[in-house]
């Protein structure tokens, strides 16, 4: 089975690429964001309907 390039060149470009420091993440993790949205949309909506 023919290969798509020699194994001696494997990883050449990645090793030459300069390392860039990661950016600081902003915002909530999805599980917390989804929980907050559920409380806002579902639970608060039920309280408003009951109070009317």
Question: Would you say 24 and 32 are in contact if contact means Cβ atoms under 8 Å apart?
Answer: no
Which is more confidently placed, 45 or 22? 22
Q: What is the pLDDT of residue 23?
A: 92
Question: Would you say 36 and 28 are in contact if contact means Cβ atoms under 8 Å apart?
Answer: yes
The separation between CA 28 and the C-alpha centre of its own chain, rounded to angstroms, equals 10
- What pLDDT band is residue 32 in, cutting at 50, 70 and 90? very high
Q: What does residue 2 show for φ and ψ, rounded to 5 degrees?
A: -75, 150
From CA 13, how far away is CA 10, in angstroms rounded?
A: 8
Q: Is the pLDDT of residue 22 over 90?
A: yes
Q: What percent of the chain has pLDDT over 70?
A: 92
Domain ranges of the chain: 27-52
pTM, two decimal places? 0.44
């Amino acid at each position: 089975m023919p290969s798509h390039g020699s194994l001696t060149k494997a990883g050449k470009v990645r090793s030459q690429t300069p390392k860039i420091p990661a950016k600081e993440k902003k915002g909530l993790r999805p599980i917390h964001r989804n929980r907050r949205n559920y409380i806002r949309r579902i639970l608060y909506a039920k309280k408003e309907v009951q109070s009317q």
